[in-house]
Amino acid sequence: MTPTEHWLGRLIAHPTVSADSNLSLIDELEQALTAVGADCIRFPDQSGQKAALLARLGPDVPGGLMLSGHVDVVPAAGQDWTVPPFELTRRGGRLFGRGTTDMKGFVAAMLALAARAPVLSRPLWLAISYDEEVGCIGVRPLLAAVAGRNIRPDLVVVGEPTSMRLGLGHKGKLAFTVTAKGEARHSSEAPLALNALHLAGDFMAAMRTLQDELAAHGPSEQGYSVPYATVHVGRLIGGTVVNLVPDSAELLMELRLLAADDPAALTSRLRDLADQLAAPHRTRFPTAALTVTETGGYPGLSTPHGAAVDAFAACLPPGTAACKLSYGTEAGLFARSLGVPVVVCGPGDMAQGHRPDEYIEASQLAVCDTALDAALARFCLASDPAID
């Protein structure tokens, strides 16, 4: 078992589902990193039950390399596992357990790298967050502190699973709750009421039209499976019994945006459409409304090639392809907060994450270890005019 595989087993043994505390794991990581000479800072949440961790090896000077990963995982309850989800199991070249791919495999590689790092001339930063799976929550206070201290590494690598391809972009996300307000009445007199579900349905129809418009006339960026912004309604809630016209309904929706899209303009567009749909009903039903409330999201990522990115690309196996990712990550937040180049690159394939019998190939961890050793030498051991 390699040091990275050993660390992966220790990480998997902590069932850090987003709904639960992660403090036992953070305690273990802080102790281990302090033992190898790292300076560590915790960033607890308001409940005191979770914390992010920032560790630095080497001098506190500008430049160097920052590696980032989250340690929260999606639930395993209710899934049909053939191995214990919170115990590392090896079958041939595959390592099974919740979080092996998303994304404790990369975090294990980060920790193993820290343990074998020699004396550094530039800093190696390790950023470990929580609640990424429920909205990139835990990294935000950490990033605020990093930006406030003017910490500016030459490159940030967010190790979400890319099969060790070089991820240079992903879409941003805006999430919304849309509340429809109608007027109730017995269904025998339904035309005399305002059905909130019908009002919500009108809004959904408008979203389909908006999607067609964005596909035909909005910004486009090649490299994505869907090269334009997407509009998606994922849940509609309303009504109690069939013989009562519902006076309220709620739908949950999201936008997935390209870097060229204007989030504020699209949010304003949603609200304008909602008001236009509700306004004609207010003559008969003064309280008629469609209210659009933004509930979360994160920025996208679009990283151009440059000296630091190309220096990291040279650490990957020859012929490694660049890619754009269909899923979101914390990388856009790093880019927006720090103003430095950020890439997404980590072991494993997201197709194996969020599912029963999640696994990662041991060979992927080996490729990651080799790449991180090369990156450490390039960014943290010697002055390199290519990235200065």
DSSP lists the bridge partners of residue 233 as 253
pLDDT in the model for residue 150: 86
Token look-up 């090269």 returns: 227
Q: Which conformational region is residue 150 in: left (phi greater than 0), alpha (psi within -120 to 50 degrees), or beta?
A: left
pLDDT in the model for residue 264: 95
User: What distance in Å separates the CA atoms of residue 160 and residue 205, rounded to the nearest whole number?
Assistant: 35
Provide the 3-class DSSP secondary structure of residue 195: coil
Hey, which bits of 191-313 come out as E strands? 230-238, 244-245, 248-257, 289-298, 301-302
Q: Which of 30, 72, 160, 361 is catalytic?
A: 72
**Tens digit of each residue's pLDDT (9 = 90 or more) over 267-324:** 999 999 999 999 999 999 999 999 999 999 999 999 999 999 999 999 999 999 999 9
pLDDT in the model for residue 326: 85
CA atoms within 13 A on the CB side of 109: 34
Q: At what angle do helices 331-338 and 139-148 cross, to 10 degrees?
A: 20
Residue 132 annotated as catalytic: yes
pTM of the model: 0.91
Phi, psi of 49 (to 5 degrees): -100, -5
Q: Which conformational region is residue 274 in: left (phi greater than 0), alpha (psi within -120 to 50 degrees), or beta?
A: alpha
Q: Would you say 330 and 139 are in contact if contact means Cβ atoms under 8 Å apart?
A: yes
Tell me the CA distances in angstroms from 59 to 39, 54, 166, 195, 380, one per residue in order. Answer: 10, 14, 28, 64, 10
Q: Pick from 291, 293, 297: which is nearest to 263 by CA?
A: 297
CA atoms within 13 A on the CB side of 353: 21
Token look-up 């990033």 returns: 143
User: What distance in Å separates the CA atoms of residue 309 and residue 307, rounded to the nearest whole number?
Assistant: 6
Q: Which of 30, 132, 247, 357 is catalytic?
A: 132
**Cis previous bond, 103, omega within 30:** yes
User: What distance in Å separates the CA atoms of residue 372 and residue 352, rounded to the nearest whole number?
Assistant: 22
Q: Pick from 56, 65, 104: which is nearest to 365 by CA?
A: 104
Residue 72 annotated as catalytic: yes
User: What distance in Å separates the CA atoms of residue 203 and residue 108, rounded to the nearest whole number?
Assistant: 46
Q: Would you say 329 and 160 are in contact if contact means Cβ atoms under 8 Å apart?
A: yes
Provide the 3-class DSSP secondary structure of residue 305: coil
Tell me the CA distances in angstroms from 328 to 37, 47, 210, one per residue in order. Answer: 33, 26, 22
Which class for 264: exposed (0-12), middle (13-18), buried (19 or more C-beta within 10 A)?
exposed
DSSP state of 196: H
Report, as ranges of residue numbers, the positions in the chain whose pLDDT lies below 70.
383-388
